[in-house]
Amino acid sequence: MIWTAALLMIVVSHADSDDYCYNEPHCDPYAWGDTFPSCHPLLEEHHSPINLDHQVIRNDSLESLYLEGFDAIQTGHWTLKNDGHSVVLQVGSGMSVSGGGLPGVYHTIQLHFHWGGPATNGSEHMVDRRRYPMEMHIVNMKSIHPNLTAALDDPTGLAVLGFFIDVVYADNMHFGHISQKLSSVAYKGQITKIKPFPLMSLLPKHSMSQYYRYYGSLTTPPCSQVVVWTLYEVPIYISWSQLAQFTSQIFSTEEDAEQVTPLQNNFRHIHPTFSRIVSASKDAILLTGTASRPLVLAVSAQLLQIILLGSFISGL
Ligand SMILES: *[C@@H]1O[C@H](CO)[C@@H](O)[C@H](O)[C@H]1NC(C)=O
Ligand SMILES: *[C@@H]1O[C@H](CO)[C@@H](O)[C@H](O)[C@H]1NC(C)=O
Ligand SMILES: *[C@@H]1O[C@H](CO)[C@@H](O)[C@H](O)[C@H]1NC(C)=O
Ligand SMILES: [Zn+2]
């Protein structure tokens, strides 16, 4: 009886807490389905992340999204939090995204990051099987829903804007708004205030019309298949030292924990696209057209050979 109660408590507390992890076998992404059934990758289910390859289909009606309030400095303050799985920036109200084929207006709620380790890349999505060092997700909820619970019941309840993050030698001054505050949220549960800044200053603002679109899921439990994904092809660039602040100075454990664990490799594994269409926006270039270009080159090289051969023969 006591034993049953104790067991029940363990089970309940396990299911209760959002306890999932990335790097231990009993709670890593392959085990999420045990606690969160909708994370189970059953056949033909539409999970994220995916690998973007040359199977993309261009859709000329996919133009730039309308990002309302992204250029402005919002009032109030934002909060940055280490939730043990990522670093999350809650951005208050005042921003929304629409257009670009999104089925409605979506209010911006938060953004967060996925990263690797000191020597490994950690983006969630891959491009041609290449992983970028990091990925940033701007999470937006369809404005007709009063709360997240309702949005998770709508097959297009969330719109997430994904940005790859690549590394260069120079610091990204705008990214400093976030990276300079990371030391205040090194441990799980820590929160700090951030002065609002124009979110657009973080983004590749000259290439916002180049993106890929597909329908998928949350990449963290409960893995709900309710996300309209927009993945931008031009990355955000930060410095090696800004990257290192994520990979080596953020912990998945609380400050007073007996054993301190760095938060690393907080990305979910790649899922098959199955029958899903991945669309390329009107202006996307990275993954489009490259299949035909080598062919054109090959043909023209052959033509050149024929011409050269022809002139060689006529020269004889
Ligand atoms: C192109 O995108 C528009 C807007 O999302 C959508 O309504 C349409 O079905 C898409 N066309 C194709 C061929 O996928
Ligand atoms: C990791 O990222 C670096 C920097 O962008 C890149 O040069 C490298 O090819 C990536 N490695 C993998 C395995 O994707
Ligand atoms: C969320 O919104 C739905 C639909 O209006 C409502 O029925 C539900 O009680 C709300 N849930 C919470 C937790 O507020
Ligand atoms: Zn994410």
Beta bridge partners of 131: 126
Cα(304)–Cα(316) distance, integer angstroms: 18
Pocket test for ligand 3, best of 144, 147, 154 (most atoms within 8 A of CB): 147
Q: Kindly state if the Cβ of 59 falls inside 6 Å of ligand 1.
A: yes
* 40 among known catalytic residues: no
Cα(301)–Cα(316) distance, integer angstroms: 22
Pocket test for ligand 2, best of 51, 114, 121 (most atoms within 8 A of CB): 121
Q: Kindly state if the Cβ of 121 falls inside 6 Å of ligand 2.
A: yes
Per DSSP, the three-state class of 287 is: coil
**Which of 46, 47, 85, 107 is flagged as catalytic?**
85
Are β-strands 65-68 and 87-90 bridged in parallel, bridged antiparallel, or unpaired? unpaired
Task: Let me know the angle formed at the C-alpha of 159 by 158 and 162, rounded to the nearest 5 degrees.
Answer: 135
Q: Kindly state if the Cβ of 264 falls inside 6 Å of ligand 2.
A: no
Question: Helix H segments across the chain?
Answer: 2-16, 32-35, 148-151, 176-179, 240-249, 293-315
Nearest ligand, measured from the Cα of 161:
4
Cα(166)–Cα(313) distance, integer angstroms: 52
Q: Per-residue confidence at 44, pLDDT binned at 50, 70, 90?
A: confident
How many C-beta neighbours within 10 Å does residue 261 have?
Answer: 14
Task: Report the separation in Å between the CA atom of 215 and the middle of ligand 1, taken as the mean of its atom positions.
Answer: 12
- The beta strand positions in 184-313, using DSSP E, are 191-194, 211-216, 227-239, 279-280
* Chain segment 268-304, per-residue pLDDT in tens: 999 999 999 999 999 999 888 644 444 444 444 444 4
Mean pLDDT score of the chain: 89
Specify the pLDDT at position 41. Answer: 83
Q: Which of 160, 109, 121 is nearest to 137 (CA)?
A: 160
Specify the pLDDT at position 123. Answer: 98
Residue whose structure tokens are 């909708």: 38
* Chain segment 82-108, per-residue pLDDT in tens: 999 999 999 989 999 999 999 999 999
Per DSSP, the three-state class of 243 is: helix
How many C-beta neighbours within 10 Å does residue 254 have?
Answer: 14
What the chain holds in terms of domains, given with CATH numbers, is 24-303 (3.10.200.10)
* Chain segment 55-64, per-residue pLDDT in tens: 999 999 999 9
Q: Which of 269, 272, 261 is nearest to 114 (CA)?
A: 269
Q: Per-residue confidence at 18, pLDDT binned at 50, 70, 90?
A: low
Instruction: List ligand 3's pocket residues with C-beta within 6 A.
Output: 146-147, 149-150
Q: What are phi and psi of 260, to 5 degrees?
A: -90, 125
Report whether 124 contacts 48 (CB < 8 A).
yes
Instruction: Using the atom order of ligand 3, give the atom closest to the CA of residue 149.
Output: 1
Report whether 22 contacts 267 (CB < 8 A).
yes
Q: Kindly state if the Cβ of 167 falls inside 6 Å of ligand 2.
A: yes
How many C-beta neighbours within 10 Å does residue 225 have?
Answer: 16
Pocket test for ligand 3, best of 144, 149, 153 (most atoms within 8 A of CB): 149
* Chain segment 225-268, per-residue pLDDT in tens: 999 999 999 999 999 999 999 999 999 999 999 999 999 999 99
Segment among 34-48, 204-218, 227-241 with least mean pLDDT: 34-48
Task: Let me know the angle formed at the C-alpha of 107 by 250 and 234, rounded to the nearest 5 degrees.
Answer: 60
Instruction: Using the atom order of ligand 1, give the atom closest to the CA of residue 57.
Output: 14
Q: Kindly state if the Cβ of 193 falls inside 6 Å of ligand 2.
A: no
Specify the pLDDT at position 144. Answer: 98
Instruction: Using the atom order of ligand 1, give the atom closest to the CA of residue 62.
Output: 2
Report whether 263 contacts 252 (CB < 8 A).
yes
